Structure 1
Amino acid sequence: MKKRIHIKLFTRILLLYILVLSVALYIFTGYVSRNSYALLKEGQIGIHQQIIAALQNTMNDRTKTIKDILLKIYDDEQLFAYIMSMMDVTDQSESVPLDSYERKNMAYKLEDLLSLDPNINNLIFYNSHSQKAYLYMYDLDYAFFDHTEAILQNMPRLRDVSQESFIIPAHPGEYVASQASKNYFDVASNFYYPSSSLFLGRFIVEFGMDDLQYTINQFGKDMKGYLLVLTRDGEVVFDSSSTYYGRKYPYFEQLRQSSDSVMLAEDSIVRTASSDKDPFIYAAVLPKSALKKQLNIFNNSTYIAAIILLLFIFSVYFLVTSIISKRVNRIVKAMSKTVESNLAYRIPLNNKDNEFEQIAIHFNKMCDSLQDHINKSYVYELQQKIAEMKILENQINPHFLYNSLEAIRARLEIDGNDEGGEMIHSLAALFRASLKADSVVTLAEEIDLCNMYLKIFNARYQNFFHYEIEVEPSIMGYGIIKLILQPLIENYLIHGFDRKRQNNLLTIQGYRNENDLRITITDNGSGIGPEKLNEIRQKLTRPSQSSDRGSIGLYNVNERIKLLFGAAYGLEIESSELKGTTIIVRIPCRQPHEIKAAQLEIGNV
């Protein structure tokens, strides 16, 4: 039945946990789904803006490269003269014969121009007077060739001298068969005599697009949509989708400004960039269908991840629940044993630092404490019975003995023996105090008893024994077990007092240490040897094994204190052989009625 109850409890916890977790995951995935569109859109826009910035930098570098090439040509008179000589040739399609050294030198200089940008495909010089166009490129062995017909067919605007510079949009490579599968674009600039600024024709640089495509490919599959580089007339210079090459971009009018909703071939998000000095317009087009497709993939991945996470958590929870159930059953079993009064049973420990192990440790400690408390109560009650029997044995008409001692004292005083009378008086007072039923007295009363006991002994050994009592007045009202100090004094008188010495000294001191009373009994007697001292200390730590429980001595006093006040209290002993011994009594600061209440509590358990 109990097992079923535990299983039912853990099942309820599991079902509640599953329900809460499922609802939390549902809310979370719903929130992610609702907000992921905006996040994906902003992410794509950010990628597009990065690519546009990279394309702008690349195209600006191209413009600068053209200016650098022209400056090098204008600054090098020999190279400029060579180019002029090449442009004046109009009647053949082969290279102009030159001295081999000059040809090689010019080849190096032209190669240096091409090396300014690895994406330069070729250089074209157009003579506006002869209307001839000459091509210079790597694949033609660094030579000029007349390609007028093909060049003018591809670039009819070369004859139009009204524009100082212009862009030739993307076109396939037409001058070498190996380049026919690739697209190129050209930038044309006016070509002058450096000295007179006389217009000669056009200087054209043809660029490949590999680096532009590489810039986009760096973002890999993260980039959706396509990128465009257009002329200001809408002609396509670069198209990452390769869809609109060879024609004007059909939706050029809609690309005038950035917008989150532009109807092109389909509803799209558009970002554009251009400046007044820039001959190009840059555009990033993100069809919303591509964004929604990415959103569906993202949402599906989120749902699948949530389900996998849920299954994983459930598996872990089942495993943890099983482990917890075993540990709980172990504790329940121990509690059942305790209910059956089997206080000897202890929960086996696994030496692991967790809550269940702590519960097991404290449960075992509780059983130890309970069993110890029961044992203490039994021992205390047994000792009380023994003490009562001792009192009954010794109380043979005690009042008769007390009255007899008083009669003897009176007789001695009548005869003039005051000292003997004083001894009898002290003995009678001591005997009367011992007959009182109270087992708890004030410290002042206990000190008085000790004083009377020491007076009797001192009267016997007047010149051989001395004693001192130094107790703080502020602690005299605290309670103490009756006759707890007398056995300790007697222990010295029996074992430490030397009848041959005249300087035997016993000192009793009492003071408060925080919440405890400390009473020290110090003598200058024969002391205790190291082995014997160690044996006594060990027995004091194990009071139940110290000595005969009926004896009234060092061990009995220690055990009575520990039974009443706990293991933290009792006797401590310090001794040096031939130098003396100190016994320290440590008890809590309590009023007499508090100690009596503690005695009753122990006796009633």
Structure 2
Amino acid sequence: MKAGVSLFQKLILALLIMLSLIVLVFWLIYRLNIQEIQGELKKNKIAEVKFMTSQLSNQFEQILMNTIVLSEDQSVRAYPNMLKFGDEYSRYETKLNIIDKLALNSASTPWNNTVILYFPDLNETVSSDPFFSFSEFVLPDQPLHVWTIKQEKKTGEYYYSYLVKSHKSPLYIEVRIQLSQIRKVMSQYTSGTPLLYDARNRMLIQNDSAPLRNEAAKLIVPLLQGDDGFLSVDNNGTPYLLNYMKLDMMDFYFIDYHPMRQLIEPISRNNNYFIVAMVALLLLSLVYIFLLHRQVQLPIHKLRRAIEKFDQGDFSSRLTDMNEYDFRLLGSSFNRMAENTQVLIEQVLHGELQVKEARLMQYQAQINPHFLYNCLNFIQSKASVNDTAAVSSMTLHLGAYCRYIHKIEQVDATLEEEINSVEHYLSIMQLRKKTISFTIEVPKHLKACRLPRMILQPLVENCIIHGIEPSEQSGHISIEAADLGNEFVLTVRDNGVGMEQERLQSVLRYMDEIFFSEMPIGIGLRNVNQRIKLYYGKEHGLLINSGPMQGTTISIRIDKQEEHHVSNIAG
């Protein structure tokens, strides 16, 4: 019987499925949280970057607007005429007035900037920085209306310079913004790491407090496409979130980059807590499985083994060492049932042994009586033609055969007696049918073994009636015995027509039927088969091999016995 899945295995499988579903659901929730955080972060970052970009644009725009206002100022426009036609005091007073206005202009913006006025026709310079106001005139060599990055020779600091020419007077105005001022504004951006990329000058401005490595900068710059964007980059195995936006009217990109690890660190920490909880839950599950195996599975396994032994005929099977209360009660109930069943089976077997002898005698009485009638007809026929030799031979063989089969008070006989009886029977059949021949080969040391009476004659009769008589050729029957140690095998073989497999299967099924049923085939074989099973047990019986036009072979496996079997089993 094929073993199914046990309850214990089902419980373990259900527990594993439950844990797998929990892990899967958690992983999905974790991924959804990451996506949700990225979405919210993208919205927040876009708003923050947009605000910062707007501030930078406004600062640059305000400085440029102040420059335009300065170019329209009356004092600035009148200063060239004052230099040409005014006295020295007026020139000096006007210059101081312009310097004050330039200083006021610089102070009106959050960024400290330097405004320089160049009058190229007069080689005059006026600036909010006294250094430029009283130094030699030098007009900057740079394109107009473009923010250009430059480096001061004395300090080495970088600054942005914007040069514009007035349309109403011979005047150039330069605005300088120190790079440190831009970094100062960027340092106020605390929600991420700010960068400012000057696409025209190909310069990356970053906060001094969090400088970006050159390889990271080279990785980020090629990704800047369009006016804004939000993307993820990987630098040396570290993922970053990158958000950028272009400033209005300038080739500047404000960039915010943030390590992904810092954003998802709280979730990762919670994830670790969950993993620890899952490991603890798994350990508890293993303890639960161990206890379940010890307190449920093992008692069930003991009960199943006891039932299997009981089902196989071991009625002495009992349950012991059942520690759990419920299983102890179940074991006690099983033991009482097994004990009562064993007593009942022993009583039934004792009664069956008492009737076995009577049943064996009944099987012997079922020998076909038509055989005797045919023999008498043969004698009458041969006597009518004065064939005394045939009559004498038939009479001798028939008398010996009948003397043997009518000893019904003896259930068993020696193999020698059984062979002699079959030899008389075959001699009778040979007298009646000259086309039949036979051979008998039995080792001498096996002739003293005992076996049920009249088990070979029905087999030989079956070979003649169903195998040789339907054949058009001469028939031959061989009887052999082979020693197998504790048992021997009797084989009856003919060279008749044999049987189709379908008919052979029908005969085999009919032989093994417990209750008698009316069938036109195999009655003699069934009687012998049932007698052998009653005599030696259910594991014994006839073995039949046959094929169309290949004859039939019948084998019987018999235990070696030198005492009367029935007397032994009846006790």
Work out whether the TM-score is over 0.5.
Answer: no
Measured against the shorter chain, the TM-score band is 0.3 to 0.5
Which of these two proteins has the greater Rg computed from alpha carbons? 2
Give me the TM-score of the superposition, normalised by structure 2. Answer: 0.38
